[in-house]
């Protein structure tokens, strides 16, 4: 895990602010999408796992029990952190953003949230019109 020293305090503070902004963006988007798709989504929940590999995101439970998960992960690599992102529908990866430098966490958050509405719409429409 990266070692935090006085020399990299500004980087650490910037990363902490970016993590907080990402968590806030996922919470706001989750609430908004849940309200837009209610009652077709059973529930939504933010993902905030700050132990070990950092995970931030949002999950939505569809009426048929499938789960749509949009998330970014911060992974320690030597003395630095890297970010990666995914959108996953019940184990099927719909979007994969490859590992990149930590400063892209905001961009990756936007890129996994952007298709969330479309994926929810397609999943809910598919339930209403199977075939």
For the chain, 131 residues long, the average pLDDT of each consecutive 10-residue run is 56 88 96 93 92 90 93 90 95 96 96 94 77 55
Cβ atoms of 72 and 108 within 8 Å: the answer is: yes
Start-to-end Cα distance in the chain: 48
pLDDT of residue 129: 66
**Number of folded domains in the chain?**
1
Question: Could you tell me the pTM of the whole model?
Answer: 0.86
**Domain of 94, in residue numbers:** 6-128
pLDDT recorded at residue 63: 87
Residue 107 lies in a domain: yes
122 falls within a domain: yes
In a domain, 21, yes or no: yes
Query: Of 68, 60, 72, nearest to 24 (Cα)?
Result: 72
Which tokens belong to 6? 């006085």
Asked whether residue 77 is domain-assigned, the answer is yes
- Within-domain flag for 24: yes
- Which pLDDT belongs to residue 4? 47
Q: Give pLDDT, residue 62.
A: 92
What pLDDT does 27 receive? 96
CA dihedral 126, 30, 98, 106 (to 10 degrees): 150
Within-domain flag for 1: no
Is-contact 61 42, C-beta < 8 A? yes
């Amino acid at each position: 895990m990266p070692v935090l020293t006085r020399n990299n305090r500004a980087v650490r503070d910037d990363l902490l602010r970016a993590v907080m902004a990402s968590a806030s963006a996922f919470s706001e988007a989750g609430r908004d999408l849940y309200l837009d798709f209610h009652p077709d989504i059973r529930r939504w929940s933010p993902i905030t796992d700050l132990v070990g590999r950092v995970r931030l995101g949002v999950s939505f439970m569809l009426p048929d029990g499938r789960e749509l998960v949009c998330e970014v992960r911060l992974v320690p690599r030597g003395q630095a952190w890297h970010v990666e992102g995914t959108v996953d529908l019940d184990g099927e990866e719909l979007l994969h953003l490859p590992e990149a430098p930590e400063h892209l966490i905001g961009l990756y958050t936007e890129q996994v949230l952007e298709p969330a509405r479309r994926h929810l719409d397609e999943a809910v429409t598919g339930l209403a019109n199977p075939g």
